[in-house]
Amino acid sequence: MRIGVMVCHCGNNIAATVDVEAVAAAAREFPDVVFATDHMYACSDPGQKTLEQTIRDLKLDGVVVASCSPRMHEVTFRRAVERAGLNRYMFEMANIREHVAWISLDRKRNTQKATDLVRMAVEKLRVDRPLTPKSFDVQKRVLIVGGGVAGIQAALDCADGGLDVVLVERKSSIGGVMSKLDKTFPTVDCAVCVLGPKMVDAGQNPRIALHTCSEVEEVSGYVGNFEVRIKKHSTYVDWTKCTGCGACQEKCPSRKVPDAFNENVSLTTAIGIPFPQAIPKRASINAEYCLKLTKGKCGVCEKICPTGAIAYDMQDEFITEKVGAIIAATGIDLFDHKKCGEYGAGRYPDVVTSLAYERMLSASGPTAGHIKRPSDGTEPKTVVFISCVGSRDRSLNRPYCSGFCCMYTAKQAILTRDHIPDSRAYVFYMDIRANGKGYEEFVRRAQEEYGVEYVRGRVAQVYPQDGKLIVCGADTLLGRQVEVAADLVVLAVGAEAAHGAPELAEKLRISYDAYGFFMESHPKLRPVETNTVGVFLAGACQGPKDIPASVSQASAAAGKVLALLSKDKLESDPQIALVNANRCIGCGKCERTCPFGAIRMRELRDGSQRAEVVETVCQGCGICSVTCPVRAIQLQHFTDSQLLAEVNALCRTWDETTE
């Protein structure tokens, strides 16, 4: 066998703490190595060209590149090797950057460890075998979880590209947080006027199957062939009959239901449509408050409904959809302001969240766009906005910046001055983060054109006195305490992961961070992909985002899905488990331990059992391989002999160094 080795400097990343030339020199002494060199950037165009040329010139059978993590460039080098005519699995990577150069400054020992890792890679390569991927059919359909602005955008883009879309939304209407907003920054245009037509499009597009009041229950399968079980919660209204006339809502006698869409600023009825622009515009019953469902009497809506759509006995329903790709677009929830006792949140009615205030500003909101104090219905003349409530606060385990609060606070302050010209608006802030197009100018307008008083400092306490709310804080620019007697206090609550996000991530087998936000595959270069092939991210479920960023990411995710599903067949990874039928004793242990259901038992003609791997389902995790008592299952490219070759190489080099 003829092996070539290339040791990468990675500029100074590796070369600063590893003697790469010495590593290459040592590699020349390893068995079967006929060529070893070092290169400034192995991944660069000249680097790859050198690699290809050397393979051809020296008729190499395999290559080792000692550079960064395989997660970074394994695919790059495999392609290069393949271009030079080798099988792409006749390539090994030694990670001497993340595992060596970046973790220690001891040049001598780093060089030793890098040499060890290269030797292990060479020894494995000596027993590597060429592998050939197989291809399989794909479902040209996509599941989108979450019907906020990101989910809607992704659905429309995918449908435009010719894919069938299954759009699943937990609430009874799509629209998400954006549908609750009055205006958007920095243009101050009407949120629902922008979003509404998109919602209608999503509802009418024949390629989009809309499932509201629904949640993803279970996901199985793999890229190209996911199988998704969806739970459709009972709405107690037959939506094939409901016309959205709203007669039931008018007559429902249960009128003390907290209105979740209006952030509990007002009350609503037990049956109804959450807001005028809802899509689908269909009524549903809140089972917690429905008199018929809780007490067994009433039935007014059933009598009044002109189409006989009410179905009190409706049950939850499960459906199964087959899709080729999944986009998670589950968005955010808002921080629970009641956790901030110092602001009296939850105790004083005139301390409200920013989203509740947004509903008060909205013409279709509970106060018809008139700002009123919840306590007495009067118009507030002094409104104090407190920034960073549940953001940038380590004591609340919310160390991150939610990104959009500075901007919506400026917008709400402007709207306050617009609605009530003789009002005063104060904003207590830590820093102003306005780094979007036109954002800084917008904050300036709030300050200069609208005369909003910006006070740099935190609020320590809010307490009621003589019908006012006294806001005590610090003005850190003046270096003194300030008190403002406010009529209304608006808390700029930050974003947190949507409830149930970690559970969904586990169903989708994607990672999430300590706060429940989904993890992208690479923060810079793969921002919409996840580590599970075929699952993509759109919008704030990946981290707090404003509307433009959510929409951009949604279109990006849709683009990725369209590219993926533009192929009729996908290649399967050959690095999967393989059963040696001669060794298999048919004990079935592997079948029971496989987390993906990728192993099934096959009966031979003599009646004995043998395990069999379903190639398209196997993820190559290797659990079956270690479970098998007779070593009959081997993970391709990570066989026992290949791993032992590495271990032996490591032990042998240790022997040499200790001698």
Residues that bind other proteins (CB under 8 A): 341-342, 344, 347, 461, 463-466
Is the distance from CB of 413 to CB of 355 less than 8 angstroms?
no
- Of 615, 647, 642, 648, the C-alpha closest to 62 is 642
CB of 453 to other proteins, least distance (A): 24
| Cα–Cα dist 326/565, whole Å | 11
| Nearer to other proteins (CB atom), residue 15 or residue 470 | 470
CB of 465 to other proteins, least distance (A): 7
CB atoms under 10 Å from CB of 264, counted, come to 17
| Nearer to other proteins (CB atom), residue 26 or residue 493 | 493
Strands 382-389 and 424-429: parallel
CB of 302 to other proteins, least distance (A): 42
| Nearer to other proteins (CB atom), residue 483 or residue 656 | 483
CB of 456 to other proteins, least distance (A): 23
| Nearer to other proteins (CB atom), residue 460 or residue 477 | 460
Residue with tokens 């049956």: 271
CB atoms under 10 Å from CB of 165, counted, come to 27
Kindly report the backbone phi and psi dihedral angles of residue 80, in degrees, each rounded to the nearest multiple of 5, phi listed first.
Answer: -60, -45
CB of 335 to other proteins, least distance (A): 16
Is the distance from CB of 158 to CB of 142 less than 8 angstroms?
yes
| Nearer to other proteins (CB atom), residue 466 or residue 655 | 466
CB of 380 to other proteins, least distance (A): 19
CB of 464 to other proteins, least distance (A): 6
Count CA within 13 A, CB hemisphere, residue 412.
31
CB of 463 to other proteins, least distance (A): 3
Cβ neighbours of residue 397 closer than 8 Å, sequence gap 6 or more: 515
| Cα–Cα dist 152/245, whole Å | 25
| Nearer to other proteins (CB atom), residue 472 or residue 587 | 472
Strands 453-456 and 424-429: parallel
| Nearer to other proteins (CB atom), residue 29 or residue 342 | 342
| Nearer to other proteins (CB atom), residue 342 or residue 506 | 342
Exposure letters 228-256 (e unless 16+ CB within 10 A, then b): bebbbbbbbbebeebeebeebbeebebee
| Cα–Cα dist 161/325, whole Å | 14
Gyration radius (Cα) of the chain, Å: 31
| Nearer to other proteins (CB atom), residue 49 or residue 347 | 347
CB of 469 to other proteins, least distance (A): 10
Is the distance from CB of 491 to CB of 338 less than 8 angstroms?
no
